[in-house]
């Protein structure tokens, strides 16, 4: 088995600048930090502000053209907030167009709107990879998403909800990612539990995630830009 030197964090809000971790740091256009070397950028449904929508989308468009902007996100739909779904869908579709234009994957936030996300993927004929981050639902929902071409990323809920074990085990190795999002626990802890649930060694789960990263993001794990000194 090949030795993999780095772990990949699909989604985090904290840049920790660790040598052994490649982090896809979530950025918002209205508070963009130039010092973060690898990032995704997008408009989270919670923070939609129509008064700055045009300028937000313009900045996202600019950053997506850069090699160190690996994905658009997080973006998506959330039925448990007050912002009307009509507005959420408009903003989501506008971001899908940008992701398609630049051929960058989408990192998705989805709460109680999986059917809508699947439908939009079909209607918009999305060709770029779409990754549901922080997946926490049941096996049936997971299967439906997988059947429609989505990737699933696990982190916080995998650590905190033992019932997710069987769901995680049901996800094919070539369709999963791991992340920390906003949790205090380390990415190493997420990898360790993932390996345990899959009944494999840590090196194998590292290799699985590396292979998925290189397929989805179309770059080698070691082809990262030079880290800035903070």
Q: Give average pLDDT by consecutive 10-residue segment, the chain, 230 residues.
A: 83 94 97 96 98 98 97 97 98 98 98 98 98 98 98 97 98 98 95 98 97 96 54
- Structural domain of 85: 7-217
Q: Within a domain: residue 41?
A: yes
**Dihedral of the CA atoms 91, 94, 99, 101 (nearest 10)?**
-170
Residue 153 contacts residue 131 (beta carbons within 8 Å): yes
Q: Within a domain: residue 1?
A: no
Instruction: Identify the pLDDT of residue 229.
Output: 40
Q: Within a domain: residue 225?
A: no
Q: Within a domain: residue 229?
A: no
Q: Within a domain: residue 129?
A: yes
Q: Within a domain: residue 87?
A: yes
Instruction: Identify the pLDDT of residue 228.
Output: 42
Q: Within a domain: residue 161?
A: yes
Q: Is 102 annotated as a binding residue?
A: no
Q: Within a domain: residue 226?
A: no
- Bridge partner residues of 178 (DSSP): 154
Q: Please state the pTM of the whole predicted model.
A: 0.95
Q: Is 228 annotated as a binding residue?
A: no
User: The domain spanning residue 39 has which CATH number?
Assistant: 3.20.20.140
**Total number of domains in the chain:** 1
Q: Is 109 annotated as a binding residue?
A: yes
Instruction: Identify the pLDDT of residue 222.
Output: 77
């Amino acid at each position: 088995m090949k030795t993999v030197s780095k772990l990949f964090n699909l989604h985090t809000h904290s840049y920790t600048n660790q040598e052994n971790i490649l982090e896809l740091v979530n950025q918002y256009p209205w508070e963009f930090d130039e010092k973060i070397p690898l990032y995704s950028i997008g408009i989270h449904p919670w923070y939609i502000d129509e008064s700055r929508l045009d300028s937000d989308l313009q900045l996202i468009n600019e950053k997506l053209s850069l090699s160190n902007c690996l994905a658009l996100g997080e973006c998506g739909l959330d039925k448990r907030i007050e912002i009307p779904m009509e507005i959420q869908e408009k903003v989501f579709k506008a971001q899908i167009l940008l992701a398609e234009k630049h051929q960058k994957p989408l990192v998705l936030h989805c709460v109680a709107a999986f059917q809508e996300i699947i439908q939009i993927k079909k209607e918009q004929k999305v060709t770029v990879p779409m990754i549901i981050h922080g997946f926490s639902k049941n096996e049936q929902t997971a299967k439906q998403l997988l059947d429609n071409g989505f990737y699933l990323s696990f982190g916080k809920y995998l650590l905190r909800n033992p019932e997710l074990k069987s769901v995680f085990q049901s996800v094919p190795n070539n369709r999963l990612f791991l992340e920390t999002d906003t949790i205090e626990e380390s990415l190493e802890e997420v990898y360790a539990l993932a390996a345990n649930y899959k009944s494999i060694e840590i090196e194998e789960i590292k290799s699985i995630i590396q292979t998925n990263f290189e397929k989805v993001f179309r770059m080698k794990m070691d082809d990262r830009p030079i880290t800035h000194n903070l």
